[in-house]
Amino acid sequence: MSGLRFRRSAAPLWRAGGAIAIAAAILLAITLPLSAQSPEGLLWEHVADSRVQAVAVSEDGSLVAVGSRDNSLRLFDARGQLLWSFEAENSILGLDMSPDGRWIAVASEDRHIFLLDGDGSELWKFKAARPMNNAAVARDGSLVTATSDDRTVYVFDNNGNLLWQEELGIGVRAVDIYGSAEKARLVLGSDDGLITIYSREGRNLLQIRLDYNVISVSVTPNGARVLAGTGDGSAILLNGANGREIWRFRAEDSVSSVSLAGDGSSALIGSEDGSAYLLDGDGNLTHQFRQESEVLSVSLAGDGNSLSVGAVSGSARVYDRAAALSGAARSSAQRQRTLLAVISAIVLLILAAVWAARNTAAGQQAWQRSAAGPVGVLQTMWSARLSYLLILPTLALLLTFNYYPAFSGLYHAFTDWSPGVRTEWVGLANFQSLMDNRFFLSGFRNAAILVVVSIAKTMTMPLLVAEFIFNLRNRFSQYWFRTLFVVPIVLPAVVEILVWNNIYDPAIGLLNESLKLVGLEEFTRVWYGDASVALGSIIFIGVPWVNAFALLIFYGGLISISNEIIDASLVDGASTWRRFWSIDLPLLMGQVKLLLILNFINAVQTFELVFLTTGGGPGAATYTPALELYYKAMRMDRMGIASAIGMILFIIILAGTVINMRFVSSATEYEA
């Protein structure tokens, strides 16, 4: 019965699969030419061979300082004309410019901090034991500070006199200054996640503890808001008075640089994921400036209208915010593309309908009837109105909750998607970014392993046990063994995983305790925390893998083999072994294929198994694509990238299913 049904449904499925594959291909074809986009709002760019490691913009955006790895600091005017340049003896690692452009503090790998005036003349310099990695200057130039790789912060007055220094004993490179003259304050962020605000004299005024190393800080001129960029890819806006978190933004990779507009109304965040994110005062993303490489430094003019971005590729770009935003708002082009996609989907459906009318029996009937005149079809449809009415609820639900999301997912895979905010067509950018995403790539490898292992598990142990039970001579034992092996199916899938979490518990888990009991203490470990065994531990869950469902399917297949065949094999003197290979296995091919495809589909989408055990860790050791999809969508709000992952998995599953179906039809012939 099952086999018959399976085969009957296979033919339309096959066709539908083909149609979906064609639709996907066409969507892809539409996308390709649209993927190139002109950068919006770009005022000018400076391209050099060496990476741009520091940028700074004056308050009105009329001066832009660019420090790069070729040891030079260049000052440009608003149109990108070079005003002057300054050479240090090694690469420039950090720089800061007072809002009026009168003072520029420069930190260099040559271990010096320099204070320059507005014309590029060196006023003084100071040498530390190790390279200086960042510098800041007060708006009136009265206070200058530098952080160094020797884990010390140095503070100077305008004349280069060292006011105080503090050895922190931990890496430090996030520093900024607010206020002026005697009221100047220093904001310092270090690798232990601490942000400290010091007075001019070095008194500790406030400490804020964050969860990850602080890589960059920026503060408003009145000190009311502090923006911190941390190593986990967060940018966190803090209240400068009490240290409370106001909002938090997640980039896709570590944040390298942050900059806050003077009035706190906008913020710019540069991340190693290759984007600079422009946020509004409430932490909502207003625009994303994609770069071709990691962004090392960003700077936002005091009024927030002009912004500059420095990247590994050696480009320093200056954008006009208003132009960028209006460019993004020019979404009529987006709408046209959406329309195009919708129209092409409709055309596709019509083509499919025509094809169905030509090639299926029922379709031809409808075709002939419609050839008699459109009124005829309408009449038949009207007389069948009850039928339509009865299937209407089913169709309405399926269209809303299944069809619409499926097409929406395929479409949004090509967009930068923030529901309710904006949907921006980005072509293949999502797929490109996935190709560089190590979590996704590692997930892919793991998913491949899990697919193979899951199929191997289902094809061996349940079949073995089914065959063993089948070969027991005692019917009573057969019944009990089969029943008992099926009992674990009553545990919800989640419970099984949770119990295994407990078995693997490093503190008081069954596995480690057992190892200790038999004196193999050296083999105990943190099973989920050790990258070399984490994936193996996950695979080991459920040992000895006698899956109840697969067992029942195989066993059902075995008892349906007719006794005559088995008796005949006995008469022919076939051994049990021979019978297994020549009779049981060929006759079980239907079951094998069913389990094969079910396991394939499930294993490609593996989520709970890693989400509930290792959460993808340690590092990226046990990531799966579905897990990355979940994190991207739910924790980082990257719905577009999540949709792209979904689409890739869909294509893989579709391909696997189609391959399996061909395989099914060829082998069922042998079975019959």
Partner 1 sequence: MVTMREGQGTERNASVATRAESGEGTGQPILSSGSAFAILRLSGTQFLLYTVLLVLLIVTFIPIVYLVALSLKDNGQIYGRFWSMPDPYRWENFALGSLAIWRAVLNSILTSGSSTAATVVLASLSGYVFARHRFPGKEMIYTGILALLMIPPILTLIPAYVLILNMGLENTYWALILPWTSGGQVFALLLCRSFFATLPEEFFDAARIDGASELQSFARIAVPLSAPILVTVAVVRLVTTYNQFMWPLVVISSPKRQVVAVALTQFTSEIGVTDLGPQMAGYILASVPLIVLFSFGMRHYVRGLTAGGLKA
Q: Scanning residues 494 to 513, which ones bind partner 1 (CB under 8 A)?
A: 494-496, 498-500, 502-503, 508, 510, 513
Q: Does residue number 95 form part of the binding site for partner 1 (CB under 8 A)?
A: no
Q: Of 42-50, 123-131, 391-399, 447-455, which segment contacts partner 1 by CB under 8 A?
A: 391-399
**CA nearest neighbour of 66 among 79, 77, 76:** 76
Element (H, E) at 415: strand 415-418
Scan residues 266-305 and list those touching partner 1 (CB under 8 A).
none
Distance of CA 312 to the CA centre of its chain: 22
Q: Does residue number 474 form part of the binding site for partner 1 (CB under 8 A)?
A: yes
CB of 113 to partner 1, least distance (A): 47
Q: Does residue number 470 form part of the binding site for partner 1 (CB under 8 A)?
A: yes
Scan residues 641-660 and list those touching partner 1 (CB under 8 A).
642-643, 646-647, 649-650, 653-654, 657
Q: Does residue number 402 form part of the binding site for partner 1 (CB under 8 A)?
A: yes
Q: Does residue number 556 form part of the binding site for partner 1 (CB under 8 A)?
A: yes
226, 255, 410, 426: residue in contact with partner 1 (rule CB under 8 A): 410
DSSP secondary structure letter of residue 622: T
What distance in Å separates the CA atoms of residue 16 and residue 24, rounded to the nearest whole number?
12
204, 336, 400, 666: residue in contact with partner 1 (rule CB under 8 A): 400
Q: Does residue number 421 form part of the binding site for partner 1 (CB under 8 A)?
A: no
The SS3 assignment for 380 reads helix
Question: 205 or 655, CB closer to partner 1?
Answer: 655
Scan residues 334-363 and list those touching partner 1 (CB under 8 A).
353, 356, 360-363
Q: Does residue number 468 form part of the binding site for partner 1 (CB under 8 A)?
A: yes
CB of 223 to partner 1, least distance (A): 36
Question: 346 or 398, CB closer to partner 1?
Answer: 398
In sequence order, which residues have a C-beta less than 8 Å from that of residue 433 and are 6 or more positions away? Answer: 252, 273, 274, 641
CB of 643 to partner 1, least distance (A): 6
Question: 162 or 395, CB closer to partner 1?
Answer: 395
The SS3 assignment for 418 reads strand
34, 194, 441, 612: residue in contact with partner 1 (rule CB under 8 A): 612
**CA nearest neighbour of 186 among 174, 172, 194, 198:** 198
Question: 90 or 602, CB closer to partner 1?
Answer: 602
CB atoms within 10 A of CB 49: 9
CB of 63 to partner 1, least distance (A): 44
Element (H, E) at 260: strand 255-260
Question: 244 or 358, CB closer to partner 1?
Answer: 358
Scan residues 563-602 and list those touching partner 1 (CB under 8 A).
563-568, 570, 572, 576, 594, 597-598, 601-602
In sequence order, which residues have a C-beta less than 8 Å from that of residue 346 and are 6 or more positions away? Answer: none
Residue 249 forms beta bridges with which residues? Answer: 235
Scan residues 147-186 and list those touching partner 1 (CB under 8 A).
none
Q: Mind spelling out the 3-state secondary structure of 523-549?
A: HCCCCCCCCCCHHHHHHHCCCCCCCHH
Tokens read off for 284: 């909502």
Q: Does residue number 630 form part of the binding site for partner 1 (CB under 8 A)?
A: yes
What distance in Å separates the CA atoms of residue 238 and residue 598, rounded to the nearest whole number?
50
**DSSP code per residue over 290-332:** E-SS-EEEEEE-TTSSEEEEEETTSEEEEEEHHHHHHHHH-TH
Q: Does residue number 387 form part of the binding site for partner 1 (CB under 8 A)?
A: yes
- Residue type, position 54, single letter: A
The size of the interface with partner 1 (CB under 8 A), counted in residues, is 133
463 CB-contact burial (10 Å; exposed 0-12 / middle 13-18 / buried 19+):
buried
Q: Does residue number 24 form part of the binding site for partner 1 (CB under 8 A)?
A: no
- Residue type, position 144, single letter: V
4, 36, 375, 435: residue in contact with partner 1 (rule CB under 8 A): 4
**DSSP code per residue over 134-175:** EEEE-TTSSEEEEEETTSEEEEEETTS-EEEEEE-SS-EEEE
Q: Does residue number 491 form part of the binding site for partner 1 (CB under 8 A)?
A: yes
CB of 644 to partner 1, least distance (A): 10
Q: Does residue number 519 form part of the binding site for partner 1 (CB under 8 A)?
A: no
119, 484, 573, 635: residue in contact with partner 1 (rule CB under 8 A): 484
